[in-house]
Amino acid sequence: MTPRGRCIAAILLAVSTAALIGFAALLVGAKPMSLEAAIRAVLAPNQGVDGIIVWTLRMPRSIAAFLAGAALAVAGLLLQIITRNPLAAPDLTGVSAGAVLLIVFTFVAFPAVSSVFYPFIGMSGGLLAVALTIWAARSGRGPALHLALSGITVSLFLNALTAYILIRGAPQSPSMLFWLSGGFQGRSWPQVSYMLPWVAIGIGAALACHRVIGLLSLGDEAAAGMGLNAARWKLALLLCAAGLVAGVTPIAGPIAFIGLTVPHLVRLLRPVDAATAILLNASTGGALLLTADALARSGAAPREIPVSIFTALIGGPVFLYLVQRRQSLPGRGTV
């Protein structure tokens, strides 16, 4: 099989796996459902309690998890290419923490502000946080490690501010505790329609810029030698990555490891170009987060477990394994 054929097969496999997991997730929850009942509910959405549960709760929740995973994985890929750093990710560069901080502050201090504006607010916080991280890491001797340490420090500082705001706003904060731990409990079609434009536009913009991304992956000097304004395009791609995170965070909360681990998994497949890498990251990230959400829903049913626990349990060991494989880290000419 040709490299391109192998990548296409991997994309189809990830999407098929996600569809299979999504259907299996219809069977589990506070009210277990048989396979026959689930099929009947899918085919007849307006008949019986099972149809209501499937079409108003479990199916949109699975779609939301897939969209969030796709967005976070592509955002991680873009951040790693922009910074030329294998440890860059939304949760390790301060993007997620900055988005969460401003959203929580707005929720507590200005409750009249519509949630429609939360993605824009989250994008502003994410951009400010990543700018602070890059500024703090600018003089480090080891670029990859120094950026990671700076990002962790900024994230911890912003998370502390978030906790302080929640404590001060105690009467309003309990509803946010589960959201801050990351999860999709109670998500339905309005939340899917809320996320979809941000995810579609963000991934679509990344695909439209795939040639630029391919040039940037060769290094700034090589890109400049081909006539590319690297600084301007990096800013545009940073806005794209921040928009993807900001579109997901108001619905799913902060979710770790997807944006860090998935790009490394995809590199093992050696995608033939940047466009293929983006599609592979989106499909693999969606499938991985959908799997974690299915486990979160069924692991202690009828109680909910925060999905970030399972992304850490899945992504942490995988990433530690990949770190040992030096060839899986992004080098010149890789996406």
What is the DSSP code string of 140-201? -SSHHHHHHHHHHHHHHHHHHHHHHHHHHTTTT-HHHHHHHH---TT--HHHHHHHHHHHHH
- Domain assignment present for 160: no
Closest to 264 in 3D by CA, of 334, 333, 313, 328: 328
Instruction: With respect to residue 222, please indicate whether it lies within any of the assigned structural domains.
Output: yes
pLDDT recorded at residue 147: 74
* Alpha-carbon gap, residue 297 to 274, rounded angstroms: 34
Higher model confidence: residue 143 or residue 226?
226
Mean pLDDT for all residues in the chain: 85
- The model's confidence at residue 334, banded by pLDDT at 50, 70 and 90, is low
Q: Which amino acid is at 79?
A: L
Q: Is residue 270 part of a domain?
A: yes
In this prediction, residue 121 carries a pLDDT of 92
The answer to whether 92 and 245 have CB atoms below 8 angstroms apart is no
Residue type, 242: A
Region 203-226 average pLDDT: 88
CA gap 266, 224 in Å, rounded: 27
Range scoring the smallest mean pLDDT among 20-24, 43-47, 141-145, 202-206: 141-145
Q: 272 by DSSP, 3-state: which?
A: coil
Higher pLDDT, 270 or 87: 270
Count of helix runs (H) and strand runs (E) in the chain: 15, 0
Report the pLDDT averaged over residues 84-90. 82
pLDDT-based confidence at 133, cuts 50/70/90?
confident
Instruction: Note whether 29 and 301 are within 8 A (CB).
Output: yes
Tokens coding 333? 């000419």
Which pLDDT value is given to residue 241? 92
Task: Report the CATH number at residue 39.
Answer: 1.10.3470.10
Q: Which has the higher per-residue pLDDT, 242 or 174?
A: 242
Per-residue pLDDT tens over the stretch 66-79? 999 999 999 999 99
Q: Which residue has the higher pLDDT, 231 or 46?
A: 231
Residue 111 CB-half CA count within 13 A: 7
Q: Considering the domain boundaries, does residue 178 fall inside one?
A: no
The residue range of the domain holding 304 is 3-87+183-328
Q: What is the pLDDT at residue 269?
A: 85
**Res. 296: pLDDT tops 70:** yes
By 3-state DSSP, what share of the chain in percent is helix, strand and coil, each rounded to 5?
Answer: 75, 0, 25
Residue 225 in domain: yes
Is residue 161, in this structure, part of any structural domain at all?
Answer: no
Q: Any residues with CB less than 8 A from the CB of 125 and at least 6 apart, and which?
A: 98, 99, 100, 101, 102, 103
pLDDT confidence tier of residue 329, bands split at 50, 70 and 90: very low
Q: What pLDDT is stored for residue 20 in this prediction?
A: 92
Looking at per-residue pLDDT, the higher value among 46 and 49 belongs to 49
Q: What percentage of the chain has pLDDT greater than the value 70?
A: 92
DSSP codes, 222-251: HHHHTT--HHHHHHHHHHHHHHHHHHHHHH
pLDDT at 148: 74
The answer to whether the CB of 287 falls within 8 A of the CB of 13 is no
The CB density around residue 35, as the number of other CB atoms within 10 Å, is 11
Task: State the total domains in the chain.
Answer: 1
Confidence of residue 333 (pLDDT cuts 50, 70, 90): very low
State the helix-helix crossing angle for 274-298 and 3-25, rounded to 10 degrees: 20
**8 A C-beta contact, residue 217 and residue 334:** yes
Residue 92 is assigned to a structural domain of this protein: no
Of the ranges 26-30, 229-233, 258-262, which is most confident?
258-262
| 308 contacts 255 by C-beta, under 8 angstroms | yes
- Give the residue, 229 or 205, on which the prediction is more confident: 205
Q: What pLDDT does 71 receive?
A: 96
Residue 175 or residue 212, greater confidence: 212
Using one digit for the tens of pLDDT, what is the confidence trace for 215-250?
Answer: 988 887 887 888 888 888 988 998 899 999 989 999
Residue at 42 is within a domain:
yes
Nearest one of 270, 271, 314, 268 to 293, comparing CA atoms: 314
pTM of the predicted model, to two decimals? 0.89
pLDDT at 192 over 80: yes
